[in-house]
A = this chain, B = another copy of it.
Amino acid sequence: MIHPSKIVDKMFENDAFSKWLGIKRIEDGAGKSVLQITVRKEMLNGFNIVHGGITYSLADSALAFASNGYGRKAVSVETSISHTQACKEGDVLTTHTEEMSLSKKIGIYQITITNQHNKTVALFKGTVYITDKNWEI
């Protein structure tokens, strides 16, 4: 089996938007992904708090990295997110990925995002379809 980090290396290498987000990969793994960003001014909305799209994007990247880490290509099927706490410029946001269910074809992940005070700022759930195609590196 290819090491999950090799797969995520490849996915991340050309992921321009994850790079724009300033994503740091803290931990890679099969069914696991800990990512971190620091909120910048250009990520804020008109209320001067982080745009919901930023936390979604962070969680969505974690979903892709976690679910592809097993070596088979996985694609997102349905995702949902609740934004439970406002985030400000300078906040450090971290994903925590929990694999809730994994069958041959379907994986379900809960991804919680916390800030630097360990407060939950967003609850994300993602469902992926696991294809028959293997990652080749």
Contacts and interface: CB of A to CB of B under 8 A. Distances in A.
A87 to B, nearest CB: 12
For chain A, what secondary structure do more than half of its interface residues adopt (helix, strand, loop), or is it mixed?
Answer: mixed
Nearest to A15: B46
A33 to B, nearest CB: 14
Interface residues of A, number: 50
B45 A52 contact: no
Given A76-B83, A100-B120, 16 more contacts: A11-B46, A14-B45, A15-B44, A17-B51, A52-B57, A52-B79, A53-B54, A77-B106, A82-B100, A82-B101, A82-B108, A84-B103, A84-B108, A100-B123, A108-B123, A127-B127
